[in-house]
Amino acid sequence: MLRDRDSLSRLENSLLAAFAVPHDRTGGREYPESEHEYRLPFQRDRDRVIHSSAFKRLQYKTQVFVYSVGENYRNRLTHTLEVSGISRTIATASGLNSLLAETVALAHDLGHTPFGHAGQDMLSELMSEFGGFEHNKQSLRIVRLLESRYPRFPGLNLTLETLKGLMKHGAEYSTSTLGLERKQEGPSLEAQCADLADEIAYTNHDIEDGLEMGYLNLSELEEIPLWHEFSLRVRERYPNTNEKVRIRTTIRELTNGMVSHIVGMMRIRIEEYGISQRSDLNRAYVEGRKILGFDEDFGETVRELKSFLHRALYRHPSVVRMSDLGRDMIAVLFRYFRKHPKEIPESYKERIETEGLERIVCDFVAGMTDRYAETVFNKLNG
């Protein structure tokens, strides 16, 4: 039986909790469009993100290790796909709108620079006198302006609910009506799913990649309580398994444990805070009550694990050396194209007069892949 958009919306809404974002409450789009005959609005948002140029470029952007160290390590695209899967799982198990949660997850890193956080930090420094740079805001800029795929509007023209989901807590969006709404309402639970999924994904896959690279020491990791707890369970259940499989099983169990904890805590807090409809979420937000997240004890063990990763992996001399090289390349590229704006692609140059040279140079450099940035850098220094 063929189902049109309205029947699909009714079917999907029947699966949602009363405090979820319904499929027919999207806030509309910045540029009015006719609805699709048999695709839901958030489904169209998701597909537009996946088909975007910025999404495809994520496969050549750094997560922790630059692409040149090997093909078996996470890049920004594989990280994003892991985040979307975890986000969808949390949302589905919690009665939330999994399409919205998945879409926010898929779009959350579109604005990331080459060379990971090192690249972001360098661009933020270079843009400090010109409006700043932050990759979450750049993701919004990409989906609202920089993507060019449609004849009647710039960007991807995503639904307003998706755009609000991309706005991170603590960032300044006060010049935007949408930002003011986000600040007053707080993030949807679906957006919070994506945020938590991001944390769960990078914590666990960075352990795997760090061990594979030999930058993390397994005996030191075993001293971290949360890892030790799950590692011990796996060793007792599978005593004859080889070390590599045991590590991967532990990571999988730890990921599942984090997700299950969040889902369980949400059920407890929904009942404790008397959440029965979406307006109750706003009340809880104003009161500072967290609905989605770890409890204090479990959260402390997660923070301890992340602190270990920061010391042992992210500050590992080899990682720092790669990061410093990336920072240097970003600085050289930014300064070069600021002095030679005629060499910027035409699609960027046409906005220099309205938005300023530095912002356009920033857009161009931030959008580069690691590989392209290295190629241009080597050409300039060849």
Is residue 6 included in any domain, yes or no? no
- The number of domains in the chain is 1
| Distance between CA atoms of residues 90 and 27, nearest Å | 23
Amino acid at 210: G
Is residue 167 included in any domain, yes or no? yes
Is residue 34 included in any domain, yes or no? no
What domain range is 315 assigned to? 41-380
CATH code at 346? 1.10.3210.10
Q: Measure the CA dihedral 170/175/181/182, to 10°.
A: -30
Give the rounded distance of the alpha carbon of 150 from its chain centre: 24
Sign of CA dihedral 225, 242, 197, 63: positive
Q: How many residues does the chain have?
A: 382
Is residue 229 included in any domain, yes or no? yes
Is residue 122 included in any domain, yes or no? yes
Task: Identify which of 91, 88, 116 has the alpha carbon closest to the alpha carbon of residue 370.
Answer: 116
Is residue 17 included in any domain, yes or no? no
Is residue 56 included in any domain, yes or no? yes
Is residue 315 included in any domain, yes or no? yes
pTM assigned to the model? 0.93
C-beta separation of 128 from 350 below 8 A: no
Tens-of-pLDDT digits for all 382 residues of the chain? 678 888 888 888 889 999 999 999 999 999 999 998 999 999 999 999 999 999 999 998 877 766 656 567 788 999 999 999 999 999 999 999 999 999 999 999 999 999 988 899 999 999 999 999 999 999 999 999 999 999 999 999 999 999 999 987 545 555 567 777 777 777 899 999 999 999 999 999 999 999 998 999 999 999 999 999 999 999 999 988 899 999 999 999 999 999 999 999 999 999 999 998 888 888 888 788 889 999 999 999 999 999 999 999 999 998 889 899 999 999 999 999 999 999 999 989 889 999 999 999 999 999 999 999 999 999 988 6
